[in-house]
Structure 1
Amino acid sequence: MYIKEIKLINFRNYEELKIDFSNNVNIIMGNNAQGKTNLIESIYLSGFGKSFRTSKENDIININKDFLFVRITFVKKNRENTIEYKIINNKKKEIKINNNSIKKISDLLGIINIVIFSPDDLKLIKNSPLERRKFIDRELSQMNNAYCKNLIEYHKILNHRNKLLKQIFFNNKLKDTLDIWNKKLVEIGIVIIIKRREFIKNLSSISNKIHKNITNNLENLSIIYEPNIKSSLSNNNKNIEIEFSELLTKNIEVDIKRGYTSIGPHRDDISFFINDIDVKKYGSQGQQRTSVLSLKLSEIELIYNETKEYPILLLDDVMSELDINRQNDLVKTLNKVQTIITTTDVNNIHINNINKSTLFKVDSGKIVKI
């Protein structure tokens, strides 16, 4: 899988851009605030239907413009495809896959597979559980469309239950209707738990192999699922159902006082251990970075195992954050995947075959091939 061409109109600081990519390594070089990350953002937008930098769609439209257009032409399973993303009059949004409009963002996920690695990802271990759940849900959603739909349904049910909890606080008679939402939450929640458990198990296995190679077999990396419902770690789904239901009932009064649901997979987390030592609490900065690097490289292999094609790898100004050894470990994957790298200085990238890469220079929303 690789991107052939991208066309932008009024996207951030790009009034109009058309660029052809190599199916190997592409390096986008330029000073800060010239549009490097904007280009990465437009590719991410095409894969996930939203930005990784803002939740406000107006932020991605060029100043004083009311129209935005992004078109990605890519090859998947030896067939050329297109994804188009439009915003008209700052409000109306339209997404097309091969000229066919889609109604839901969930229909877009998995059409083009993307792995993104940015400086913020290096903080993933120390970030909040919410960020780690977002990582899990993003990767599972692009590999498994059914998971995405179940996740959307789960959060709809969760929102209904939370609204009801707030209403019950003022009208206790409504408590009898809570059981309906409890059953729905458990039914969909179990499906999410099972998928996460399997995903994290596979993620841990692949990450550990990669981590061993990086550390010359000196360190074992384990990624541990930390579910909000402890029986989620077992393979007995009936036990999960029983515990989930019992905990929802047990915590009703607490949930009513707080106005939100305290039990369920929306409270899950993952932890990282190197040789049985908690990396978040006791790992060095180098160990934390190597763990995240192993995690990102395992994403590539997981997607390949699921789809039989390697994803597109986006490296947004991350190479300067890694030392030479970690860069080399990352670079080992570049012969497998199309890679788009942004950097302020090509000297920050210690790639042996740098001369074989396609190099672009970006300046004030203009890109030229060097």
Structure 2
Amino acid sequence: MIKNIKLKKFRNLNLQTDLDPNINIIIGKNGLGKSNFIDSVYYFSYGKSFKRISDSDSIAFDDTIGFARMEAVINNDEQTKLAVTFSRVDDKSYKKLEVNDLATIKRKFNNHLYAVMFSPETLDIIIGSPDLRREDLDDFISGINDEYEHKLRDYKN
């Protein structure tokens, strides 16, 4: 469960907020960042956006430095800090995943927070092509089963 989220230059968002352990309602006019906030939660679960966009698009639109950072404090068995940092240098973009201030790989990052997302962008599992349905299913299973992810990676290579 997410206790606190801090977003710095993540698309159009700069904020820090505590979340209620029971229910949170996100309301606002169009273009204020509601979907971007939900996408930040998805990043903390899967290490990527649910929007099928490149990581470099996560940096604020008007940012000239090319840097964005997201942090979340979650309470699972113990308190854990997750962070995602995006940077852009020239035409290259980079993403760094951290657990408790230590760099980590996506597979280990994904083992701390589980979320299921239903949105127009994620309806591929129902109405998408077989390839997109398989990709969504592989992503979900890989998020909860390390052995599956290893076998899938070996199969693709």
Give the TM-score, by structure 1 length.
Answer: 0.39
Per residue, is there more strand in 1 or in 2? 2
Matched, 1:38 2:36: yes
- Please list the CA deviations of residues 254-289 of structure 1 after superposition, one character each: whole Å capped at 9, or x if unmatched: xxxxxxxxxxxxxxxxxxxxxxxxxxxxxxxxxxxx
Unaligned runs of 5+ in 1: 157-370
- One-letter code of the match for 1:72? A
Task: Report the equivalent of 1:64.
Answer: 62
Matched, 1:145 2:146: yes
Where relative contact order (Cα < 8 A, 6+ residues apart) is larger, the structure is: 1
Task: Report the equivalent of 2:133.
Answer: 132
- One-letter code of the match for 1:94? K
- Using the TM superposition, give the Cα deviation of residue 71 of structure 1 relative to its aligned residue in structure 2, in angstroms: 0.3
Task: Report the equivalent of 1:118.
Answer: 119
Larger radius of gyration: 1
Count matched residues: 152
CA gap 1:123/1:51 in 2 versus in 1, 3 angstroms: closer
Unaligned runs of 5+ in 2: none
CA distance in structure 2 between the partners assigned to 1:83 and 1:59 by the alignment: 20
Per residue, is there more helix in 1 or in 2? 1
CA distance in structure 1 between the partners assigned to 2:23 and 2:54 by the alignment: 31
CA gap 1:127/1:93 in 2 versus in 1, 3 angstroms: closer
Kept in 2, the 8 Å contact 1:13–1:35? The answer is yes
Q: Secondary structure at the match of 2:85?
A: strand
When the two chains are superposed, the root-mean-square deviation of aligned CA atoms in Å is 1.7
Q: Secondary structure at the match of 2:25?
A: strand
- Work out which of the residue numbers 28, 31, 48 in structure 1 matches 2:26: 28
- Using the TM superposition, give the Cα deviation of residue 20 of structure 1 relative to its aligned residue in structure 2, in angstroms: 0.6
Task: Report the equivalent of 2:84.
Answer: 85
- Using the TM superposition, give the Cα deviation of residue 112 of structure 1 relative to its aligned residue in structure 2, in angstroms: 1.2
Kept in 2, the 8 Å contact 1:109–1:145? The answer is no
CA distance in structure 2 between the partners assigned to 1:125 and 1:119 by the alignment: 11
Q: Secondary structure at the match of 1:26?
A: coil
- Please list the CA deviations of residues 221-274 of structure 1 after superposition, one character each: whole Å capped at 9, or x if unmatched: xxxxxxxxxxxxxxxxxxxxxxxxxxxxxxxxxxxxxxxxxxxxxxxxxxxxxx
- One-letter code of the match for 2:5? I
Q: Secondary structure at the match of 1:111?
A: coil
For 1:64-213, what aligned pairs fall within 5 Å after superposition? 64-65=62-63, 66-77=66-77, 79-90=78-89, 91-102=93-104, 104-122=105-123, 124-156=125-157
- Using the TM superposition, give the Cα deviation of residue 57 of structure 1 relative to its aligned residue in structure 2, in angstroms: 1.5
Q: Secondary structure at the match of 1:59?
A: helix
CA distance in structure 1 between the partners assigned to 2:156 and 2:4 by the alignment: 36
Name the % identity. 31
